[in-house]
């Protein structure tokens, strides 16, 4: 067979650009994941010691009380409107006499 017949044969398997791209992409992703795990392992903060004695805190009121105008307050609804009686209708004029 001639070299051109072999290069055009459908029976010969050859790598395509897509398969090379997928292979390089998979290898690249694996390298990025390995680098991220290694970075996290070497730069990890020290472990928290859960056996330490906790800090006791108490609330203490210091100084003078705040002015009540400065404190936050709840919004109050406006008072309901006053009921106003409807005006009485004007008396009707008597019909004119002929």
Which residue numbers in the chain have pLDDT < 50? none
Residue-wise pLDDT for 78-94, tens only, equals: 888 888 888 888 888 88
pLDDT of residue 6: 61
pLDDT of residue 28: 98
Residue-wise pLDDT for 2-13, tens only, equals: 666 666 777 777
Q: What angle do CA 77, 80, 82 make, to 5 degrees?
A: 155
Determine the Cα–Cα distance for residues 23 and 17; give it in Å rounded to an integer.
10
pLDDT of residue 4: 66
The two tokens of residue 79 are 């008072």
pLDDT of residue 5: 64
């Amino acid at each position: 067979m001639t070299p051109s017949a072999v290069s055009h044969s459908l029976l010969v398997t050859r790598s395509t650009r897509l398969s090379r791209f997928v292979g390089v992409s998979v290898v690249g992703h694996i390298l990025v994941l390995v680098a991220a795990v290694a970075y996290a392992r070497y730069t990890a903060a020290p472990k928290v010691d859960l056996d330490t004695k906790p800090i006791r805190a108490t609330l203490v009121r210091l100084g003078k009380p705040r002015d009540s105008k400065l404190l936050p307050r709840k919004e109050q609804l406006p008072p309901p409107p006053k009921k106003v009686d409807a005006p009485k209708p004007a008396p009707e004029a008597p019909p004119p006499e002929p």
